[in-house]
Amino acid sequence: MNLPRISILLAILLLLFSCKKSSDNSDPEALATVLKGEGTFIINEGNYLAGNGSLSFYSYANGKIYNDIFYSVNARPLGDVPNSVTINGNNAYIIVNNSGNIEVVEKNSLKVLKTISGLNSPRNLLIVSNEKAYVSSLYSNNIVVVNLLTNSISGNIALRRTSESMVLVANKAFISSWSQGKEIMVVNTVTDKAVDSILVAPEPESMVVDKNQKLWVLCSGGYTGQVHAELDRINPYTDVIEKQFVFPAKSSYPTCLQLNKTKDTLYYVDSGLWKMSIDAAILPSAPFVKPAGRFVYKLGVDPRYNRIFYTDAIDYKQKGYVIQINSKGLLIDSCRADIIPGSFCFK
Amino acid sequence: MRFLIFHIILFFAFSLSAQEPSDMDTVRIQEVIVSGRPCLYGSASKATIVDSLVLRDYSHNNISDVLSENASIFIKNYGSGGTATISLRGTGAGYTKVDWNGVSLNSPMLGQSDLAILPSGFIDEINIYYGGASLFLGSGGLGGTINLSTRPVWTDQSDFQANLSMGSFGKYSAFLKARTGTENFQSSTKALIQTSKNDFPYINNFVPGEAATERRKNSSTNQNSFMEELFFKGRNHVITARVWYQNTFRNIPVPVIIQQPENGENMRDETLRSIVSYSTYRSKTNLSSSLSWVSDNMIYRNPILSVNSKNLSNTLALKSDMERHIDEKTSYYVSINDELDLIKTVNYDGRKYRNTAGLTFSLNHKISNRFDVSLLVRDQLSDNILMAPDFSSGLRFILDKNRNSNVHFGISRNSKLPTLNDKYWNPGGNSLLKNESSYTGELSYEDSWKISPELVLNGQATIYKIQIKNMIRWTPGNYGYWSPSNVDRSSSYGAEGNLGLSYCYNRFSIKVNAKYSWNHSSLINSSAGEDIIGKQLIYMPEHLINGSLRASYKYLYLSWLSAYTSKRYTTADNSNWLSGYNLNSMSVGANFHITGHMIDISLKSENIFNASYQTIAWYPMPGRSWYISLIYQFSK
């Protein structure tokens, strides 16, 4: 038996052991102080079925981003594919799409007050009154009604279509049927019944109401790229389409319609960032911010300060960026959020 | 001449490794049989065998269970009964081919195989070909190829075996095996019916409220499988016909971080595989031809999303090869093959097909008694486009022939065609994709020491490096869907080693084996930015350690297996990971022989220390489980 050879063999095996560690250091007290201030929540959607969705907070006070704050406060993950946050009074409602939950948290501490569960693919929450909110659904044909006093489900509205974006004008909720849809459903918020529908281009994705109380609907045209996208202006009192802007290229896939502080300028994402006046006669011909190698995913405009944020999801696998620009499109700040940074909620 | 005689003996009779109490050992590649005929392989390539003795313990398990416990191979597993894919040497599942007697089982649509639906009881031997060794079975196995082989036993004895098993979480299994024939004709029949509720408990501390013990829902599986093989042997030829039918229904559980539906996603996979082959053997030349047809009908349903996805693939393959021994020192091998994939799916824009032809030439030459070299060149013509040729070459230096002590070195180039999903998925498919290709280099040392007539120690160590270029990655595009492109380059390097000790005295035998593998695999160039360059790829553990002990005394036997898997990163920037875990399993049993009858009863416990672990994030794996098995065998 050749012992030196065995020794060489063993040495090779032993030398191959190695270990690396990484850690996350966050100060709970500093985080609690920061969360009391102004800023924006950023939803990090994470990957579908990977359970790596999270919540970030960008502080206006110190210009820093705080990642995975829901976990830091509540010692459990947020869930699978969170989609949006809506603030109502002292509470924030975090809609966790694929977990089918709404996490009701105290907006200044993020401590969970209640978890509303059992929803079918919830997407966005619209505050209808002090007592009532609507929740849209990607797969269900119903709108879920939530009692904001008890934070529980109080009913359903049969929409007969899936739903996505929602806005409120007087006693009417305008609800877009996005996934494979082409209608804006009109719901009477007093009776909680669908009363009308407005036919638009395929896949109405986002909506805003301008300073003239006109409803703007951005239709992405469908993911197959076979139909032209469209931006429509609708009179919400008559439910009539007043203007239609058809995107010239089928390759356009616009999303995330937003308004500025004075509600007279529209912003949206279409590879880069685009903006147009609500009085414009035609669509803009050049982007306001070119993508410049970034994968521009979502857009948010803080209506209080006109702060413009957008996200770069990079490759959907690594931590994406949150980028802040001014109204001229110049970079103010850029910081790393988490996986697939998506929608914003300004606090 | 001795070389030729050796192979002929191997072919015409016998699975020596199946009859001897050997464990999974590193072997010289020339000693491996594939498809029941002798083969030449590059001398610089590494191959290992999982033999029938190991497989005996897994007659009610699937191939993924065998490999995860007995080889330093990481199996990405979505839970008991869930999809299980293999990762060889830090390459992804799409870079590992799985063959059955030389016929590819990888889905031409997805480019990978699900090991969870391949029952190990149907297989006589598992051969693992690493790196360039896989080229002999065809291109595409950039990490390697797993070949599942079956083989005849040329005796006039008939055997019937009934194997009944039941265990934790509602698992019931019945496996029947019958073999009959003469020295010139053999029939082998195997049938399996298996069902499992898979409703194992786990502690859910991921959802709101207090941590609670819950049971896995929508996780049940049902599998029916049948295989018939006929072998005819003439004076210098063999005709083989094989048919393997499988029907698998699986509910697909969701990650525990979301609400578990009672009636969620499910998948039915119905597969018919058949091979007809003819081989003839002359004094210096062996010729072989085979025709195979693999039909796979997979239906995926998701009632919540109203998805009813039907996918039918048919693959016809024709292969002819010739092996010729010029003299005692030199031999060559030529093979030509053609494969036609026909796909009908709701996910493509119409029916699609792909035709791929390949030509392989291999040369082995013994320069001296201590030194031999090999060269294999292979080229492919896919849809009338000639690819850059692949190759595998190696040198072997024999340190001590009596002790099987040698050093070998090899380099190879391998390439992989884009999957048909990559090319034709609607929307997003990219028909302009290039081949992915790899360069692999490896250096291996192997030795064995006979300490005493009863005690043998053997060991092996390998270091390797693989570089893959033109890696295909799906990235978000301008629309709301993703599209694949050749964007990344990756590097994978590491080392593998194993030590085995066997002791046999009278009717007592014991085998102890330890395996270790270290791997670092990362992107070295990516369009996704610098932040992920050099980081360990997600779900690729750096360390895998396996240990096994198998002992038998008279009619009693015992085995203990321990497998450690280090942490696996779940994000590309390595900011999140799953903890490592160590699993232990134990099996005890006894077999009694009474004039032609054999009864074997065994008890097996898996995850005996009830470790809580996940191989995929948010998919809990079963805790401790028990299985009892009763085998009755009648031989005449």
Report pLDDT digits (tens) over B202-216. Answer: 988 776 667 788 898
Which two structure tokens, joined as six digits, stand for B631? 């085998």
Average pLDDT for A54-78: 93
Does the pLDDT of residue B4 top 70, yes or no? no
Name every chain A residue with its beta carbon within 8 A of the beta carbon of B472: none
Q: Which of residues 229-258 of A touch B (CB under 8 A)?
A: 251, 253
Average pLDDT for A295-306: 93
Q: Give pLDDT, residue A250.
A: 87
Task: For B184-207, write each residue's pLDDT tens digit.
Answer: 999 999 999 999 999 999 988 776
Q: Which helix (H) or strand (E) holds A199?
A: strand A193-199
Q: Give pLDDT, residue B478.
A: 62
Q: Give pLDDT, residue B22.
A: 37
Query: φ, ψ for residue A29 (rounded to 5)?
Result: -70, -40
Q: Which of A90-94, B56-60, B460-464 has the lowest mean pLDDT?
A: B56-60
The chain-wide mean pLDDT, for chain B, equals 87
Name every chain B residue with its beta carbon within 8 A of the beta carbon of A17: 518, 543
Q: Which of B176, B141, B167, B143 is nearest to B81 (CA)?
A: B167
More confident residue, B303 or B278: B278
From the list B450, B461, B571, which residue is nearest A12 (CB)? B461
Average pLDDT for B394-400: 92
Task: For B104-124, write each residue's pLDDT tens digit.
Answer: 999 999 999 999 889 988 999
* Residue % of chain B over a pLDDT of 90: 63
Task: For A190-203, write each residue's pLDDT tens digit.
Answer: 999 999 999 999 99
Q: How confident is the model at residue A1 (pLDDT cuts 50, 70, 90)?
A: very low
Question: Could you give the CA distance from residue B141 to residue B146 in angstroms, rounded to a whole number?
Answer: 9
Question: Could you give the CA distance from residue B287 to residue B37 in angstroms, rounded to a whole number?
Answer: 9
Average pLDDT for B368-392: 92
Does the pLDDT of residue B170 top 50, yes or no? yes
Question: Do residues A306 and A319 touch, judged by C-beta distance below 8 A?
Answer: no
Question: Could you give the CA distance from residue A276 to residue A285 in angstroms, rounded to a whole number?
Answer: 10
- Sorted by where each begins, the domain ranges of chain B are 2-13+38-635
Q: Give pLDDT, residue A22.
A: 30
- Nearest Cα of chain A lies from the Cα of B207 at a distance, in angstroms, of 7
Per 3-state DSSP, chain A is made up of helix, strand and coil in percentages (nearest 5) of 10, 50, 45
Query: φ, ψ for residue A70 (rounded to 5)?
Result: -65, -45
Question: Could you give the CA distance from residue B493 to residue B471 in angstroms, rounded to a whole number?
Answer: 17
Task: For B541-595, write each residue's pLDDT tens digit.
Answer: 999 999 999 999 999 999 999 999 999 998 888 888 999 999 999 999 999 998 8
Q: How confident is the model at residue A21 (pLDDT cuts 50, 70, 90)?
A: very low
Q: Which of residues 142-201 of A touch B (CB under 8 A)?
A: none
A16 touches B: beta carbon within 8 Å: yes
Q: Give pLDDT, residue B479.
A: 63
- Nearest Cα of chain B lies from the Cα of A304 at a distance, in angstroms, of 30
Name every chain B residue with its beta carbon within 8 A of the beta carbon of A120: 304
Burial B336-348 (b: 16+ CB within 10 A, else e): ebebbbbbebebb
Task: For B224-242, write each residue's pLDDT tens digit.
Answer: 999 999 999 999 999 999 9
The chain-wide mean pLDDT, for chain A, equals 90
ipTM: 0.76
CA closest to A224 among chain B residues: B427
Name every chain A residue with its beta carbon within 8 A of the beta carbon of B532: 317-318
The amino acid that residue B465 corresponds to is: K
Question: Do residues A22 and B574 touch, judged by C-beta distance below 8 A?
Answer: yes
A293 touches B: beta carbon within 8 Å: no
Classified by CATH at the fold level, domain B2-13+38-635 comes out as Maltoporin; Chain A (2.40.170)
- Nearest Cα of chain B lies from the Cα of A193 at a distance, in angstroms, of 25
Which two structure tokens, joined as six digits, stand for B180? 């009959």
Q: How confident is the model at residue B83 (pLDDT cuts 50, 70, 90)?
A: confident
- Interchain proximity B457–A6, CB inside 8 Å: yes
Query: What is each CA distance from A46 to B206, B307, B539, in whole angstroms?
Result: 16, 23, 16
What does DSSP say about strands B581-594 and B221-233: parallel, antiparallel, or unpaired? unpaired
- What's this model's pTM, rounded to 2 decimal places? 0.83
Average pLDDT for B251-278: 88
Q: How confident is the model at residue A14 (pLDDT cuts 50, 70, 90)?
A: very low
Does the pLDDT of residue B57 top 80, yes or no? no
More confident residue, B526 or B66: B66
Task: For A104-146, write each residue's pLDDT tens digit.
Answer: 999 999 999 999 988 989 999 999 999 999 999 998 899 999 9
A2 touches B: beta carbon within 8 Å: yes
From the list A22, A79, A251, which residue is nearest B575 (CB)? A22
Specify burial of residue A277 (Cβ count, 10 A radius: 0-12, 13-18, 19+): exposed
Q: How confident is the model at residue B469 (pLDDT cuts 50, 70, 90)?
A: very high
Q: Which of A301-305, B98-102, B317-321, B474-478 has the lowest mean pLDDT?
A: B474-478
- Nearest Cα of chain A lies from the Cα of B281 at a distance, in angstroms, of 40
Task: For B593-602, write each residue's pLDDT tens digit.
Answer: 988 899 999 9
